[in-house]
Structures are given as C-alpha cells and as structure tokens.
Structure 1
C-alpha cells in the first residue's frame, strides 16, 4: 500500500473554488481500481509556534494499492479534465509517494 501526500499550492483567494472542484471529483476517484482513500484537507488555523501555516494550499491524502494503480489514476480522463479545470488557479504541486517501513 502506498500513501500519497500532495500539496496543491493555490493562488490567494482561489482555494475554495479549487476545493469545490476537488470535492466533485472525489467520488469518481474512490471508484477507481486500487484506490483506498482520497481526501482533501486544508490547513487548521491554529496559532501555535511550532506549526507551519499553509492557508492557500489543499493537501490530498491518498492511499493506493500499488504504483501501477497510482499511475493509472494519473492517466484517467477525469484527471486530465480536472487538471485543465484548475490549471489557472494552481501555483505549484508537491507530491510525496510514501511506503510503510514495517
């Protein structure tokens, strides 16, 4: 099982628009073969000194059965459409693909 953490850095003032688009996409992705989790998360605005703040980012937390499933997901037509819909709102995307250590 692979865990993906993706930070989608959004232009200021456009996060809710992108989040609305992602929320419509989630059920379709969850129906994909090998997808076990696909959640959108946003920064909790806690005022503590040890926390980094990312108010203009959306974080995707995903679990995929294998790298093959994740690669198939990236090539799905609905993902191509999704990327096209949000391209003018996104500054950067940082993707981590993680595996368990035990």
Structure 2
C-alpha cells in the first residue's frame, strides 16, 4: 500500500476555489484502478504548542494499492488538467510518499 500526503500552500483566500476544483477531480480519481482513498483535509486548531496551522493550505491524503496505480494516476489526463487549472493559485506543494513496511 502506498500513502501520499500532499501539502498544498495556496495564495491567500483561494482555498475555496482549490477545493471546488479538487472535488470535481476526486470523483474521477476515486474511479481509477488501485485508488483506495483520496480526499482533501484542512487544519484543525487543537491549540497544541507544536502545531503549525495554515489557513491558506490544503492537505491531500491518498492511498493507492500499488506504486503502478499511483504512477498511472500521476500521468492521467484529468490530473494534468487539474494542475493546469490550479497553477495560478498554488504557491508550493510538498509531497510525502511512503509505503507500508
């Protein structure tokens, strides 16, 4: 099982636009072979000392059955279209990709 955590930092106040585009994309992604889970999340303030909040960020959590399934997803036309539609509002994307051991 491959897990992906994508932390996306957005231009100020553009999270609603990103989420609208993402929800349309997610319908297609969840139908891809090997997609186990795929959803957006936003920070929850728990008032913890070491917690870093990002009001202008979205974290995408993904679970894939295999590396091959993730590679296919990354090459899909709907992913390329999504990236094109959001490119002007994304400031930074940081990926963590791990495999269960």
Could you tell me the TM-score, scaled by structure 1's length? 0.93
Unmatched 5+ residue regions in structure 1? none
Bigger drift between 45-54 and 69-78 goes to: 45-54
Offset at residue 47 of structure 1 (A): 2.8
Offset at residue 55 of structure 1 (A): 1.4
Could you tell me the TM-score, scaled by structure 2's length? 0.94
**Aligned twin of 2:50:** 50
**Aligned twin of 1:94:** 94
Unmatched 5+ residue regions in structure 2? none
CA-atom RMSD in angstroms = 1.0
Bigger drift between 71-80 and 39-48 goes to: 39-48
**Aligned twin of 1:78:** 78
Alpha-carbon distance between aligned partners in 2 of 1:67 and 1:48, rounded to the nearest angstrom: 35
Where does structure 1 differ by over 4 angstroms across 4 or more consecutive aligned residues?
A: none
